[in-house]
Amino acid sequence: MYIGAIEAGGTKTVCAVGKENGEVIDSVTVPTSSPKETLADIGSFFNRYEIRAMGVGMFGPINLEKDSGNYGRVLNTPKLAWRDFNVYDYLKKKYGVPVFLDTDVNAAALGEFHWGAAKEAESCLYMTVGTGIGGGFVKEGKPYKGKYHAEMGHMYITKHPDDSFRGSCPYHAACLEGLASGTAIKERYQESAQMLSENEKVWELESYYLAQAVVNQILILSPEKVILGGGVLKQSQLYPLVRMKIVELLNGYVHTDDIEQWVVAPLLNDQQGIKGAMALVVLN
Amino acid sequence: MYIGAIEAGGTKTVCAVGKENGEVIDSVTVPTSSPKETLADIGSFFNRYEIRAMGVGMFGPINLEKDSGNYGRVLNTPKLAWRDFNVYDYLKKKYGVPVFLDTDVNAAALGEFHWGAAKEAESCLYMTVGTGIGGGFVKEGKPYKGKYHAEMGHMYITKHPDDSFRGSCPYHAACLEGLASGTAIKERYQESAQMLSENEKVWELESYYLAQAVVNQILILSPEKVILGGGVLKQSQLYPLVRMKIVELLNGYVHTDDIEQWVVAPLLNDQQGIKGAMALVVLN
Ligand SMILES: Nc1ncnc2c1ncn2[C@@H]1O[C@H](COP(=O)(O)OP(=O)(O)O)[C@@H](O)[C@H]1O
Ligand SMILES: Nc1ncnc2c1ncn2[C@@H]1O[C@H](COP(=O)(O)OP(=O)(O)O)[C@@H](O)[C@H]1O
Ligand SMILES: [Zn+2]
Ligand SMILES: [Zn+2]
């Protein structure tokens, strides 16, 4: 009997079966279209395996209040076909196995915590910088959960004095996501981030914003490991820049001798989400 | 047998004896001068009681790493006489009872959590806005502890476009503390905060900064209760202003229908620190 895992993202959904040790036996990627179509695709994959439980890392917003009577219901997402659909109820009924659910970013943090860059750590923050910015946090082996799930991508930070871009977040304009996501980069420069690798100014500014985000999280959560992932971090020149600016911004207030081991890249090569979904099962 | 409690602040130290239920039986306030003098004052108070354990909320920075071999040592504080002094070792030896130590702000959070404004909550953030800005966080009944203890007073936030003050923090200039502490207010306006009650612009700006701080903490920690205390919050007109600006800044991204119960004043009337020190014992 295998563990089943689903990583449901905004554009694509990954399904996998694997073992307790995190080994993936088989996987498939299908488009995230309507629940009906996507779940049919998922079904034809899982029908070929016997699974004992299922872990799901899910795009948000989603109801994760266990006692709310609506656990697992997709909330007001721009993906209209998914709105009000209850993923948890559907999967539990369809597969007749225990289902463990969390946000996609919490799952990614858990994947890196169990089998990746934060294996030895007591706590781990995973921040993904892609179309948007999101963060997941694992503390004492469990995904962190407060009154609501974290939305740290929208924190307020200091705007660079030379940055005249008003910010791309429809809710907050110049929040972190509004200043530093792939979407923000594209709006500011009228060109996709991946086309701008040679433009040093882009990464100077980007690293200034990401460093502030990490500094605030260090000052508030104080995670033992900080993992920066997502499409924009494919620009690996960002890592040394971000580290340097973290040290400058903290300015001796917190020890940063170990910054190279503290703020790092993911180790799981784009598998942190799906492995994290597997870890949700292992953990429970 | 009573519980002993010490709240050691930058200028004064409160000692108390009390009961398991948080009732204070007797207390005294002495100046925080040198360890020698202050501890002599403390001694003449505690010598009159039989205590079974001692809780201490201590000004920082202080070593709270249990396995470091230097647990309880005061670190590089500007108060030179206290630097390198080991509070934990001293008290344990002198009184021969178990000693439980945390930061002053974590103690205050714990006091409000056990016996104050956050009694029914699962988690509680206590932020004090006085000479500096500090925050303590209680989660699942325990003071939160990361790699280091939190220093959330120094987070980076967005400067108001009309604020030309460069910021008072010697480390970060325009961090939260550098823009919104009592010290920052005094430097910006050349007058103490308590003399500025009638100047509406002061509280407009102040509430803008405090609201950002709370918003970031809501997005990162998602506490069930947020308690704002400290000298500057004696300006009680701040509470409705801060709440209003939190709602504006979040702009619908997080539910704020319950903002009046979510972001509140302390209930323990300047006793949160000393009662929190008592709670450190009750908890252990
Ligand atoms: N090699 C790259 N360099 C810089 N930016 C990239 C790169 N690859 C993707 N991106 C940016 O990352 C974003 C997509 O993020 P990604 O993490 O791949 O997916 P998503 O966030 O949608 O799940 C886009 O804004 C894209 O411009
Ligand atoms: N009534 C008041 N209104 C506004 N500010 C006040 C008031 N009382 C004290 N403060 C400010 O609070 C700061 C002192 O903070 P407090 O919390 O009393 O002590 P500390 O932070 O030093 O432990 C000073 O900057 C002072 O100007
Ligand atoms: Zn935003
Ligand atoms: Zn500062």
| Mean local confidence (pLDDT), B229-244 | 98
Alpha-carbon gap, residue A275 to A54, rounded angstroms: 12
Contacts of A150 in chain B (CB under 8 A): 219-222
Asked if A151 reaches chain B (Cβ–Cβ under 8 Å), the answer is yes
Residue B210's identity, in one-letter code, is L
CA pair distance B191, A115, nearest whole angstrom: 55
Q: Which residues contact A58 (CB under 8 A, 6 or more apart)?
A: A6, A8, A74, A87, A101, A102, A103, A104
Number of CB atoms found within 10 A of residue A175's CB? 28
Average pLDDT over residues B52-66: 92
Confidence of residue B79 (pLDDT cuts 50, 70, 90): confident
* pLDDT value for A102: 95
Residue type for A204, please?
Answer: E
Please tell me the predicted confidence (pLDDT) of residue A258.
97
**Contact state of B172 with A251 under an 8 Å Cβ cutoff:** yes
Structure confidence at residue B76 (pLDDT): 80
Please answer yes or no on whether A219 and B159 come within 8 Å at the CB atom: no
Is B247's pLDDT higher than 90?
A: yes
Mean pLDDT of B251-263: 94
Q: Which of B248, B167, B165, B156 is nearest to B211 (CA)?
A: B248
Give the residue ranges of chain A where pLDDT is below 70: none
Q: CA A106 to CA A110: how far, in whole Å?
A: 6
Instruction: Tell whether the model's pLDDT for residue B68 goes beyond 90.
Output: no
Minimal Cβ distance to A216: which of B122, B171, B216: B216
Does B144 score more than 90 pLDDT?
A: yes
Q: Around A105, how many Cα atoms within 13 Å sit in the side-chain half-sphere?
A: 27
What average pLDDT does the segment B121-143 reach? 95
Q: 């703020």: which residue's tokens?
A: A263
DSSP state of B102: E
Decide if A154 and B220 are in contact by the 8 Å CB cutoff.
no
Q: What is the pLDDT of residue A200?
A: 97
pLDDT, average across residues B197-226: 98
Tokens of residue A147, six digits:
């009154």
Among A181, A196, A232, A235, residue to substitute to test ligand 1 (most atoms within 8 Å of Cβ): A232
Give the CA distances from residue A168 to residues A181, A242, B113, B237, in Å, rounded to whole numbers and listed in that order: 9, 21, 38, 33
For residue A123, the cross-strand partners are: A139
B76 has a chain A CB within 8 A of its CB: no
Query: According to the model, what pLDDT value does residue B284 have?
Result: 86
Task: Indicate yes or no: CB of A158 within 8 angstroms of CB of B154.
Answer: no
Rounded to the nearest 10 degrees, the angle between the axes of helix B200-220 and helix B238-250 is 50
Query: Mean of the per-residue pLDDT values for chain B?
Result: 95
Checking if the pLDDT of B11 tops 90, the result is: no
Locate the chain B residue with the closest alpha carbon to A77: B253
Domains of chain B: 2-106+270-283 (3.30.420.40), 119-264 (3.30.420.40)
Is the beta carbon of A231 within 6 A of some atom in ligand 1?
yes
On the question of pLDDT at B234 being above 90, the answer is: yes
In this model, does residue B61 exceed pLDDT 90? no
Q: Is A212 touching B (CB cutoff 8 A)?
A: yes
Residue B112 confidence (pLDDT): 97
Distance CA B36, CA B136 (A): 28
Token duo for residue B83: 């630097």
pLDDT tens digits for range A123-177: 999 999 999 999 999 999 999 999 888 899 999 999 999 999 999 999 999 999 9
Q: Tokens for A246, please give them.
A: 């973290």
Question: pTM of the predicted model, to two decimals?
Answer: 0.95
Q: What is the pLDDT of residue B190?
A: 98
Name the residue among B211, B204, B133 with its Cα closest to residue B172: B133
Q: Are A196 and A232 in contact (CB under 8 A)?
A: no
- What is the reported pLDDT for A192? 98
**Nearest C-alpha neighbor of A55 from the set A93, A8, A116, A11:** A8
- Which ligand 2 atom sits closest to the C-alpha of B128? 17
State pLDDT tens for residues B147-183: 888 899 999 999 999 999 999 999 999 999 999 999 9
Q: Which atom of ligand 1 is the closest one to the Cα of A9?
A: 23
Task: Tell me which chain A residues have a C-beta less than 8 angstroms from the C-beta of B249.
Answer: 156, 172
What's the confidence (pLDDT) of residue A284? 86
> Given a cut of 90, is residue B211 above it in pLDDT?
yes
The two tokens of residue B253 are 């991204």
> If you average pLDDT over every residue of chain A, what do you get?
95
CA-closest residue to ligand 2 atom 8: B231
Q: How many Å apart are CA B98 and CA B86, to the nearest integer? A: 15
Q: Is A96 exposed, middle or buried (0-12, 13-18, 19+ CB in 10 A)?
A: exposed
Instruction: Give me the percent of chain B exceeding a pLDDT of 70.
Output: 100
pLDDT for residue A3: 97
